[in-house]
């Protein structure tokens, strides 16, 4: 049965707001949490970018829900050995209720050291090697590794996970889905695409969970909601590989000039039509997803959680 979680957006909210949302999500009946990992927001209007590992530590003390990163890039900004230590500590703090969602990343977050931004094929190879390194470290044994992309010299996690720490691999095309099936314990993708789910299953992902997420804007004033999304998240509608290649929030703001308000109105679930929200989220279950995370855009968090507790989540579970 599909589980429904809440998506915590580090790009849009302060650490204190994220913790408050997590508590509200648990009270509303969401059974899981996902959290983004960004160094920069997508644009200045979003205006936040806390260090995800600090927030996860606070979440472990605030709520009892499982937490998944959607997603972390363990290849450029942070070395996979450092990411493994952060993930292992998160798993211990959460009593094993932690999954590490990983992906090949975006230049927006990973360019900050001034390194060349690799091609997708290189990033995929880096991710595969990084997952290998992290899994070796999760055992708690001493690890030395000399690979094409990474070196690890006599490293050992003295606070390893207490049990299995699943690694979910993100992807948005058939090649990435195949990679996720081959090296991942699960698959992360953000559109309810049954063909991608099938590619993952056929590529080695049979029996492994598929995870996705969707952003909505619940509001009694639909026009206001559309305006809110258009101001804060036009980047969701940018085409192709722009999201992986543009390096700064200013570049995303320039590209977002191509996204019209009408495009947002058509593509994003806005307003207080409960059935529309139900249909939007249910599409993921119908496509074969095991976990779906819903994020509320904008400041109207209380009305969102009230509506989902009373109207949306009961219908999804019926």
Question: What residues act catalytically?
Answer: 38, 106
Q: Would you tell me how many other CB atoms lie within 10 Å of the CB of residue 27?
A: 11
CA–CA dist 286, 293 (Å, integer): 15
Distance from the Cα of residue 298 to its chain's centroid: 18
DSSP letter assigned to residue 268: S
Residue 2's Cβ-side half-sphere holds a number of Cα atoms within 13 Å equal to: 26
Largest separation between any pair of C-alpha atoms in the chain: 58
**Segment (H or E) for 276:** helix 274-286
What single string gives the DSSP state of each residue in 92-124? HHTTT-EEEEE----HHHHGGG-PPPPPHHHHH
């Amino acid at each position: 049965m599909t589980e429904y979680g809440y998506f915590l957006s580090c790009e849009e909210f302060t650490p204190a707001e994220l913790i408050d949302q997590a508590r509200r999500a648990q009270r509303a009946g969401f059974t899981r949490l996902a959290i983004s990992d960004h160094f920069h927001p997508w644009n200045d209007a979003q205006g936040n970018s806390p260090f995800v590992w600090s927030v996860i530590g606070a979440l472990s003390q605030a709520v009892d829900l499982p937490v998944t990163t959607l997603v972390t890039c363990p290849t450029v900004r942070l070395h996979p050995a450092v990411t493994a230590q952060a993930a292992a500590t998160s798993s211990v703090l959460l009593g094993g209720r932690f999954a590490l969602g990983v992906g090949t990343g975006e230049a927006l977050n990973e360019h900050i050291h001034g390194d060349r931004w690799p091609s997708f094929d290189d990033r995929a190879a880096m991710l595969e090697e990084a997952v290998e390194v992290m899994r070796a470290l999760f055992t708690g044994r001493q690890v030395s590794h000399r690979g094409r992309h990474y070196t690890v010299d006599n490293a050992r996690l003295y606070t390893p996970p207490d049990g299995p720490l699943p690694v979910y691999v993100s992807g948005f095309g058939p090649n990435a889905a195949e990679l996720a099936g081959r090296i991942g314990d699960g698959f992360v993708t953000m559109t309810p695409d049954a063909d991608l789910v099938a590619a993952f299953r056929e590529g080695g992902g049979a029996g492994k969970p598929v995870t996705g997420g969707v952003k909505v804007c619940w509001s009694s004033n639909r026009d206001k909601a559309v305006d809110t999304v258009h101001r804060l998240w036009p980047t969701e509608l940018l085409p192709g590989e722009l999201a992986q290649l543009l390096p700064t929030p200013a570049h995303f703001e320039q590209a977002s000039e191509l996204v019209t308000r009408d495009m947002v109105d058509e593509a994003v679930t806005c307003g207080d039509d409960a059935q529309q929200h139900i249909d939007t989220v249910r599409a993921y279950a119908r496509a074969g997803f095991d976990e779906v995370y819903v994020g509320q855009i904008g400041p109207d968090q209380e009305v969102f959680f009230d509506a989902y507790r009373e109207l949306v989540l009961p219908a999804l579970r019926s």
